[in-house]
Amino acid sequence: MKERLAAEREDGAASAYKAPAHPAVRAVAMLAALAGTVAFSVVLARLTLEPSPASVALTYSNVHPGQSIRAYLDHGTAREAARQLGGNLLLGVPFGVLLPVLVPQARGLARVAVSTTVVMVLVELVQGALVTGRAFDIDDVILNTAGALLGYLLLGRRLGRAVHPRRRHWWHRFTRRSSAG
């Protein structure tokens, strides 16, 4: 196997292929990602699903993208805007880092975006329907998804590739060169 990879690297055809990490390293990474996901879930639940009776009068549902972002930027203090907008961005980052490690089929920018959007829409729907003082806000979904994409691009992509082997697509059979030569 090593000889074949070396021959392919010399040809330049498989220079992008990198073997996955040792099984023990993969197992530790998966356990760490699972623990991180549990911790992230607890934080997510505490931040989004706890009642907030003090803010009942201030809550309203927002289904118009950008509306609450504009409201924070135009009418709130800089600290409040940074807390709300930055907090929602940061809340999505762990999702983008952990998802490619836990679910190798979810690797890829579009897949991370779709997965994050679905999960965050569900969180917002539950929050808006069941939690006192909370409401559905599409801007939270947008910011959480942007944060997840940022986390994926900064760290999740590399971690996912380090833990799981690269996918072999049907078109790879046409790009591989034979080592006999």
- Split the chain (181 residues) into runs of 10 and give each run's mean pLDDT: 50 53 78 83 79 59 88 84 87 90 86 94 88 85 96 90 73 61 45
Give the span between the Cα atoms of 16 and 170, in whole angstroms.
Answer: 16
Whether 62 contacts 136, CB under 8 Å: yes
- pTM beyond cutoff 0.85: no
CA–CA distances in Å: residue 139 to residues 52, 142, 144, 163: 19, 5, 8, 33
**pLDDT on residue 131:** 79
